[in-house]
């Protein structure tokens, strides 16, 4: 499954210059399952992804672009060709020297800044970043939830995000009330962003190939009513903490929750997954008052 494919002259334009298979083979490395490494190997798709990111950056004139997880640098290379000034985060210590060597001139010129760091920990630091940011990347499945939680927290700092995610995960964050996949992350992401699916991505575009298909999505800024975000996050997490119980039962420790349900005309036997994002906002605002 992980064998290096010999590329013919007819095929060479299909694959990126920074072909993960050849780079890992050259450095006696294999994809790390613990890091959820499924590398993009389709150059046409990489070009389209970089074009989406470039277009978003043009709409957000002064925003800084951060790539979450460079891998072997296939997408990084495409973004640099678009003349974007880029900061990229990579945790894999085996990849960092490869990236430093491959992009030496871009790092020296200041077009690229490489951070060796854990993505989730790095995102927490961006709360103190003074400029607006754009986040992008082919996200590992095992970190997708944590990265999306941080993305919602970074709402005030963000001009938008373009992520490549497994299709089932996109269905989860984009799901509607009364569906099985509707949950905490669905409510939080939809509270902050408008979710647009840009492309359906076949599993054969990756190496190694994942079991499921993927989606390229864009998270666009969404104008929201002002809510106490910390209160809202705790409220939603509490609401979904015991899905078999009613919402009223789960929220029983919140003050005047019975009265709030009556004012908002929420049925006492409603469950967390039946309540819309807007209604959760209303509950939160009533609690704040």
Q: How confident is the model at residue 3 (pLDDT cuts 50, 70, 90)?
A: very low
Distance CA 173, CA 185 (A): 6
Please check whether residue 251 is in contact with residue 257, taking contact to mean a CB–CB distance below 8 angstroms: yes
Q: How many CB atoms lie within 10 A of CB 8?
A: 8
What CATH number should be reported for the domain whose range is 12-221? 3.40.50.150
**pLDDT for the residue numbered 13:** 53
How do residues 237-283 score in pLDDT, each as one tens digit? Answer: 999 999 999 999 999 999 999 999 999 999 999 999 999 999 999 99
Share of the chain above pLDDT 90, in %: 89
Q: What is the CATH number of domain 229-288?
A: 1.10.8.100
To 5 degrees, how large is the angle CA 202–CA 204–CA 207? 125
Rounded distance between C-alpha atoms, residue 220 and residue 217, angstroms: 10
**137-150 confidence digits (pLDDT tens):** 999 999 999 999 99
pLDDT of residue 1: 37
- Say if residue 14's pLDDT is above 80: no
- Residue 216's DSSP bridge partners are 164, 199
How do the domains of the chain map onto residue ranges?
12-221, 229-288
Task: Provide the CA 199 distance to its chain's centre, in angstroms.
Answer: 15
254 vs 225, residue with greater confidence? 254
Q: CA separation (Å) from 57 to 91, 152, 286?
A: 25, 19, 37
């Amino acid at each position: 499954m992980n064998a290096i494919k010999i590329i013919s002259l007819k095929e060479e334009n299909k694959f990126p210059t920074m072909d993960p298979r050849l780079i890992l083979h050259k450095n006696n490395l294999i994809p790390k399952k613990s890091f959820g490494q499924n590398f993009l190997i389709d150059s046409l798709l990489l070009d389209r992804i970089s074009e989406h990111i470039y277009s978003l950056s043009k709409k957000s004139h002064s925003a800084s672009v951060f790539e979450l997880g460079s891998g072997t640098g296939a997408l990084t290379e495409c973004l640099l060709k678009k003349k974007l000034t880029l900061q990229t985060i990579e945790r894999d210590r085996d990849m960092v020297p490869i990236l430093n060597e491959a992009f030496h001139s871009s790092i020296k010129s200041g077009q690229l800044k490489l951070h060796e760091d854990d993505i989730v920990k790095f995102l927490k630091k961006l709360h103190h970043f003074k400029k607006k940011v754009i986040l992008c990347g082919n996200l590992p499945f095992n970190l997708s939830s944590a990265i999306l939680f941080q993305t919602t927290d970074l709402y005030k700092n963000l001009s938008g995000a373009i992520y490549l995610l497994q299709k089932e995960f996109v269905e989860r964050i984009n799901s509607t009330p009364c569906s099985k996949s509707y949950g905490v992350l669905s409510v939080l992401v939809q509270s902050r962003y408008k979710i647009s699916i840009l492309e359906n991505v076949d599993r054969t575009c990756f190496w190694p190939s994942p079991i499921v298909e993927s989606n390229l999505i864009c998270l666009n800024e969404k104008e929201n009513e002002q809510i106490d975000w910390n209160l809202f996050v705790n409220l939603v997490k509490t609401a979904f903490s015991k899905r078999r119980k009613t919402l009223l039962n789960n929220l029983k420790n919140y003050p005047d929750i019975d009265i709030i349900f009556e004012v908002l005309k929420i049925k006492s036997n409603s469950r967390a997954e039946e309540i819309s994002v807007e209604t959760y906002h209303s509950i939160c605002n009533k609690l704040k008052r």
